[in-house]
Structure 1
Amino acid sequence: MSTMNLSASAASTAVIVRDPWALVPSLGNLDAYISAVNRLPLLTHEEEVSFARRLRDSQDVEAAGRLVLSHLRLVVSVARQYLGYGLPHGDLIQEGNVGLMKAVKRFDPEQGVRLVSYAMHWIKAEIHEYVLKNWRVVKLATTKAQRKLFFNLRSMKRQLKGEAADGDTHRSSLTEAEIDTVARELNVKREEVIEMEARFAGGDVALEPGSDEDDESYTPIAYLADERQEPTRALEAAHRDELAGPGLLRALDALDARSRRIVEERWLKVNDDGSGGLTLHDLAAEYGVSAERIRQIEVAAMKKMRKALVEHA
């Protein structure tokens, strides 16, 4: 190796030791990011255990960073498997990185398991959650079996149809026998296989017209009602406004002067500085009674007001 190459290698190693994050660009430049994380050095088993113990025993942030950095290429590899759902690769990697950090935080080096094996579950779990929340299927898979069906139906159909890995897996529907095979292997009902297959095969529908000039087209947004104008909600809003205004004044009028002032000071008064009115002890000192007596008067007044509001309604 030439002297120049040795110097470059030494400089790179120095940067990793001093600031390992300096070699990782942002996900905004995806190609540069993937290239950079693939060049980051892997940790030996002894180094991994040492860093994990430092993190566990002394919450060493630098040790946590070294563990995360050495496994970023794993996240890139796993995220690539989910590109078929049409979601941005960078977003998939970002979610996988969240799972990796969760795994690093919970990793126990004394279990005799390498971090790469332990982190795989957490990385996939975060990516699965992101896909389920953001993909175009509206009715999400909820049970464990349904989630397994969601993430395995494409690959199983490709195997059954004998199509290429990059082919269209929905050019033909599953036969009855193939539906039974998928349901049996994934331990779900055949009706669930049929329903999921139909969701995958369905196309996206635009919520709004494609252009302002297309006045004669009707898209789903034209049939969506404005909840604010829905009759029941309009009546509820009007009734609520009535109770909060004239209704409240009538309820206050039903009280004697002392009870009304206590309620107004405790619940309705707001000063310019945002503070409320008088406290129980302030009112107790003013009326020459105990704070408990003021509280009792307040409770009785509130009951009387509720009764007046019910009668008003």
Structure 2
Amino acid sequence: MRAQSALVPQGNHALALGFPGNLGNIEAYISAVNRIPMLTHDEETSLARRLRDQSDLGAAQKLVMSHLRLVVSIARGYLGYGLPHADLIQEGNIGLMKAVKRFDPDQGVRLVSYAMHWIKAEIHEYILKNWRLVKVATTKAQRKLFFNLRSHKESLDAMTPAQVDDLARELNVKREDVIEMETRMSGHDIALDAPSDDEDDKFAPIAYLSSDANEPTKALEARQYDRLQSEGLEAALEKLDPRSRRIVEARWLANDEGSGATLHELADEFGVSAERIRQIESAALKKMKGALAAYT
């Protein structure tokens, strides 16, 4: 409904949702939505059935308009996160429209009760995406803890051990989870560049984040190479028969670089031709390559 419906907010009319003209500011918008009359149960049911059975967007608009005050009320409860009230309301309006689209009037539930879940979910998603550059909560359990912790904290000070224990018991989570989430919430975003051109520049995050040694891809490649050199190589050698392993080790894994045995030296050792040693070596290396595939 967000993509197709004419009710989706656009541009400067993001909060208007069908109001003529531009309301100008958030106070005027709130005043306007509070003057919209509420629907009776029968009116709501009739409109919802028209939307469901006939895809009547006019009915959908009336359902949305009559519940805009609900969004305003819910959004007000999330002002403590430091995000604009207008943005919270706009996201809540999107949740309201999703609820209207999915609402079934024959389930015996009023739209106001059904829509609350969708409105809060949309506002929660917006807060989690915009409250920090780096997400503080990704799983369902972390999100629940995030919003409950924010509402339970009495001040900006760190929680006492007793408060941590009480909240962990109330939410049925580990106290370590509460401590970790509080730490993540208490953190703040820092600039990559130093604020001045003095000697402190070299201690700014950009100085070490741009280093090739600390670049994630380089670090992963180095770790993978080390694993290939240790576990992978030993596992691949174990796949070979004793003669093949001896030839590979003598040819390619000599302790001193450039001191590997020649084909003729190994031919004399095993009493076969140099060509035969080359064939055994080729087959062994091919077999090792297949074994090493699991480590790349």
Unaligned stretches of 5+ residues in structure 2: 1-16, 222-296
Partner of residue 87 from structure 1, selected from 77, 80, 83: 83
1:47 counterpart residue number: 43
Is the 2:48–2:60 contact (alpha carbons within 8 Å) kept by the matching residues of 1?
yes
Answer yes or no: is 1:133 the counterpart of 2:103: no
- Pairing 1:205–2:190 present: yes
* Letter of the structure 2 residue corresponding to residue 71 of structure 1: H
Q: Does 1:192 align with 2:189?
A: no
The residue that corresponds to 1:170 in the other structure is 156
Question: By how many angstroms is 1:216 displaced?
Answer: 4.2
Return the TM-score normalized by structure 2. 0.61
% identical equivalent positions = 70
**Residues 215/97 of structure 1: CA separation in 2 closer, same or farther (3 Å cut):** farther
The answer for the alignment partner of 2:110 in structure 1 is 114
Give 1:101's aligned amino acid. M
C-alpha contact (below 8 Å) 2:92/2:120 kept by paired residues: yes
Output the amino acid matched with 1:184.
Answer: R
Residues 211-238 of structure 1, C-alpha deviation per residue, up to 9 Å, x if partnerless? 6x667444323333288xx7x88xx9xx
CA distance in structure 2 between the aligned counterparts of 1:71 and 1:41, rounded to whole angstroms:
9
**Residue in 2 aligned with 1:153?**
149
Which residue of structure 1 lines up, in the alignment, with residue 30 of structure 2? 34
CA drift at 1:115: 0.4
Q: Distance in 2 between matches of 1:145 and 1:215?
A: 44
Question: What is the CA–CA distance in structure 1 between the aligned matches of 2:199 and 2:67, rounded to whole Å?
Answer: 53
TM-score, L = length of structure 1: 0.58
Cα 1:43–1:37 change in 2 (3 A) is: same
Give 1:101's match in structure 2, choosing from 75, 97, 101: 97
**2:287 equivalent in structure 1:** none
1:85–1:49 Cα change, 3 Å: same
Q: Matched residues in 1 for 2:25 and 2:135: separation? A: 33
The count of residues paired between Structure 1 and Structure 2 equals 202
Residue type of the alignment partner of 2:149: L
Q: Does the 8 Å contact 2:145/2:171 carry over to 1? A: yes
Tell me which of the two structures has the higher relative contact order, counting C-alpha pairs closer than 8 angstroms and 6 or more residues apart. Answer: 2
> Partner residue of 1:166?
none
Pairwise CA RMSD: 2.8
Q: Is 1:220 aligned to 2:205, yes or no? A: yes
1:226–1:91 Cα change, 3 Å: farther
For structure 1, the residue ranges without an aligned partner over 5 or more in a row are 1-19, 159-168, 237-313
Matched, 1:21 2:22: no
Label 1:96 to 1:226 Cα distance change in 2 as closer, same or farther (>3 A): farther
2-structure distance, mates of 1:31, 1:209: 39
2:30 and 2:58 mapped to 1: Cα distance?
22
Kept in 2: contact 1:137–1:199 (CA 8 A): no
Contact 1:24 1:36 in 2 (8 A): no
